[in-house]
Amino acid sequence: MSHSPESAIVHENIANGGTELEKKLLNLKPPFNDIDDVYLSSNFNELDRSSHVSVVMSERVQCIASGIYKEFETMIEAYGLPVVERLMPLIISLLENLDDLYKDQSAYHAEVRQLREENEHIYDQLTAEKAARKQSEMRLLNAEDAFDEERKVNEAKNESLSTSCRQTELRLQLAKDQGLFFSFISYTYILSHSIYIFLIIINNHIEVIFKQ
């Protein structure tokens, strides 16, 4: 691309005493046909999630700067050098601020990704803890159900044993009462038999006495 005499003067002034970014602006060769191509680029608004985010952001600023540089050359040819000299500090400042904003955005997105990963990790831990607690609650409920069932079985066994004990006591008491009754009958029988024998003996003695 041919440069006008005024454009050549700007080249020389920037090359001799310009800032580093001004020199970069001067030395950049536009990779696009015009500045609209920069804004309409399919990669301009996409977030690069690789480890070279800051490098990509710097390249974007350089692309914008190269487009502005082309416009500067056009303005020098159309309106003269003073217009560009007044705009240059403002443009340089804007590009520096834009580069800082891209870097801040890169750091912000990196922090967001880190927080998202930490949040996912915490969520996974919380989910695992909830599942473990649910399993513990289920085991506790099952243990309580088993305990209640065993308690009911033991209560039924105790009731059955109590009934058996009462029935056994009744049988023993009945047997004891029956034993006393039979003992009384036996004693009465023996007494009656003894009296009968005694009467027979007495009667025999009386008969012997009367016969004498």
Dist. CA 63–CA 43, nearest whole Å: 12
Separation CA 56–CA 46 (nearest Å): 11
pLDDT tens digits, residue range 122-152?
999 999 999 999 999 999 999 888 888 888 8
The answer to whether residue 40 sits within a structural domain is yes
Is there a domain that residue 104 lies in?
yes
Q: What is the pLDDT of residue 123?
A: 92
Q: Give domain status of residue 60, yes or no.
A: yes
Count of structural domains, the chain? 1
Share of the chain above pLDDT 90, in %: 13
pLDDT tens digits in sequence order for the chain, 212 residues long: 444 444 444 445 444 544 444 454 554 433 333 333 333 333 333 333 333 333 444 788 888 888 888 888 888 888 888 877 878 888 888 888 888 888 888 888 899 999 999 999 999 999 999 999 999 999 999 988 888 888 888 888 888 877 877 777 787 777 676 666 666 666 676 777 677 777 777 777 676 666 65
Residue positions counted in the chain: 212
Domain membership of residue 26 as a residue range = 5-130
Tokens 């005499």 locate to 5
Judge whether 11 lies within some domain: yes
> Residue 90 corresponds to which amino acid?
L
Does the residue 160 lie in any domain?
no
CA-wise closest residue to 103 among 162, 45, 63, 54: 54
Residue 64 lies in a domain: yes
What span, in angstroms and rounded, lies between the C-alpha atoms of 39 and 128?
A: 46
Is residue 74 in a domain?
yes
Residue owning tokens 């209640």:
148
Residue pointed to by tokens 């050359």? 73
Look at residue 212 and tell me if it is in a domain: no
How far apart (Å, rounded) are the C-alpha atoms in residues 89 and 22?
A: 9
